[in-house]
Amino acid sequence: MIAPTTLKNTLKEYFGYDTFRPLQEEIINSIFSGKDNLVIMPTGGGKSICFQLPAILLEGLTIVISPLIALMKDQVDGLTTNGIAAAYLNSSQTEIEQQAIYSEIDAGKIKLLYTAPESLSYLEHIFSSQKISLIAIDEAHCISSWGHDFRPAYTNLGYLKKRFPSIPVIALTATADKATREDIANQLNIPHAKQHIASFDRKNLKLEVRPANDRVKQIISFIDERPTESGIIYCLSRKATETVAEKLQNANINAIAYHAGIAHTKRSKIQEDFINDTCQVICATIAFGMGIDKSNVRWVIHYNLPKNIEGYYQEIGRAGRDGLPSNTLLFHSYADVIQLKKFAESSGNVEVQLAKLDRMKEYADALSCRRKILLSYFGELISEDCGNCDVCNNPPQFFDGTIIAQKALSAVARLKGQEPIGTVIDVLRGAQNSVIQEKNYQELKTYGIAKDIAWLDWKQYITQLINLGYLEIAFHENNKLKLTEFAKDVLFHNKKVDLANLVATKEIFEEQK
């Protein structure tokens, strides 16, 4: 254990802050007790201090693995300015520069050493001669091919725990669903790591989804309602960023396109203009936003459906960093879904990408509090509806769906969580097909207990049950439908389940055709 006053004093002395943010102190104490730690905290939550502060106090050298060579210099400069002895080693340096760092390390002058996962071999000499106090792995989701930023070199990092079993590892990331989290811990050989999950709730962001009819017209009136606010419009293609920007310009809106195909100098200029409020609206591909620090982005619009919830969450998160009320608007079109399915099918890891897209679509189709769905995706459960999403503000009509829910959940229970949605529905509806016959599902007690509900309606009810948190799709196990811990309240304690009338959804489907 380390004295709380020591931690506070160090926080003040080196970082200039008086109090810890949520979880920081708990994480730091856990490091001092020698445990491995997995930290899930949204961008801007204050992850860095969780390993930088212990690095200062612990005897020996802390190794920090970071994927962004381009940012390493800035990170290290920031630390040295604060009087923290930090350095980095990577392939961008000359051998002479690297030698200089090695000498400083040998002289015991460095507390934090940043390096990229590709440069692990540079550390061999250090490993054999120095006492390592802590191993920090930043952007740890890069290790998981289930995540959205897979970096093959990250998969070598499991080696570190094998080589140094008694040195605490801290892995940090801003985006990881439950399954990715487990994958990170397993691959890093820290299966018993203590997980610290900060709240992902950004209460100041209003969540809204609309059908993608006349998008440009809707966007123009949206911007006209808030003429002094700046915002970002995310589009799927470079072409779309340009056409949308042009249409907005024609409506006298100060908008410009931004994508990776634009020359580097011009891109920097656009970023600067946006940050300085000389440009009001950026129409961008997802290339825009990384490392952009503008706290007063008042709104984010998704012109197209994002391909997964991680990306969506990260992109809407660029609005309202100052904590003031901000708007997010997602346009939902089935044309996008089809397009994204094609992309997913040509990617590696097809099944995972498709399942993630499904979750994105479920969010867009949601009939219950969107924030609940968003947060449950990251494993965070909130008991109350948020009151700051379009569904909360304009709720659909509900009826007592307890019996329907009980039927669905007991079918999943009888199938032992081993079948995907389609088979569950087939069982509920008493279908005759080869899967049912091969596996003898007609013998199940739940077989054919709900023939009166049409197949597609079942699909929507089950989607609602997923969104309500009673069922989950195990998308790393062939999309098998599983019960969650909350299902037993419905199955055994008669918990009432309100389901939304499907009429409303049918209307949405019609409108979008």
In the complex, the residues that contact ligand ADP under the rule CB under 6 A are 17, 20-21, 24, 41, 43-49
Q: Of 46 and 422, which has the nearer Cβ to ligand ADP?
A: 46
Which CB sits closer to Zn ion, 30 or 464?
464
Applying CB under 5 A, among 205, 389, 436, 483 the residue interacting with Zn ion is 389
In the complex, the smallest distance separating the C-beta of residue 155 from ligand ADP, rounded to whole angstroms, is 22
Residue carrying the six token digits 């970082």? 15
Cβ distance to ligand ADP smaller for residue 86 or 340: 86
DSSP secondary structure string, 108-124?
T--SEEEE-GGGGGGGH
Nearer to Zn ion, 23 or 389 (CB): 389
Whole-number Å distance between alpha carbons of 139 and 69:
13
> CA 268 to CA 220: how far, in whole Å?
26
The CA distances from residue 32 to 18, 118, 133, 138, 310, in Å, are: 20, 28, 10, 19, 31
CB of 17 to ligand ADP, least distance (A): 4
Q: Which residue, 395 or 422, has its beta carbon nearer to Zn ion?
A: 395
Q: Does 386 bind Zn ion (CB under 5 A)?
A: yes
Q: Which of 42/306 has CB closer to ligand ADP?
A: 42
- Least separation in angstroms between residue 193's CB and ligand ADP is 18
Read off the tokens for 370: 């969107």
53 binds Zn ion (CB under 5 A): no
- Whole-angstrom CA distances from 122 to 91, 115, 170, 262, 374 are 9, 9, 21, 36, 41
Q: How many CB atoms lie within 10 A of CB 291?
A: 9
Q: Which listed residue (170, 392, 404, 425) binds Zn ion by CB under 5 A?
A: 392
Q: With CB cut-offs between 5 and 8 Å by kind, which of ligand ADP, Zn ion, none does residue 402 bind?
A: none
Q: Which of 486, 460, 469, 472 has its CA nearest to residue 404?
A: 460
Judged by CB under 5 A, the chain residues 314 through 373 that form the site for Zn ion are: 369, 371
User: Which of ligand ADP, Zn ion, none has residue 389 at its interface (CB below 5 to 8 Å by kind)?
Assistant: Zn ion
- Kindly provide the residue ranges of all beta strands, DSSP E only, lying in 101-254, ordered along the sequence: 112-115, 132-137, 169-173, 194-197, 205-211, 231-234
Q: Which partner in Zn ion, ligand ADP, none is near 43 (CB below 5 to 8 A by kind)?
A: ligand ADP
Least separation in angstroms between CB 394 and Zn ion: 10
Closest approach, Cβ 11 to ligand ADP, in A, equals 6
Q: Residue 85: which region, alpha, beta or left (left: phi > 0; alpha: psi -120 to 50)?
A: beta
Closest distance to Zn ion from the beta carbon of 384 (Å): 9
CB 111 within 8 A of CB 61: yes
**Residues making contact with Zn ion (CB under 5 A):** 369, 371, 385-386, 389, 392
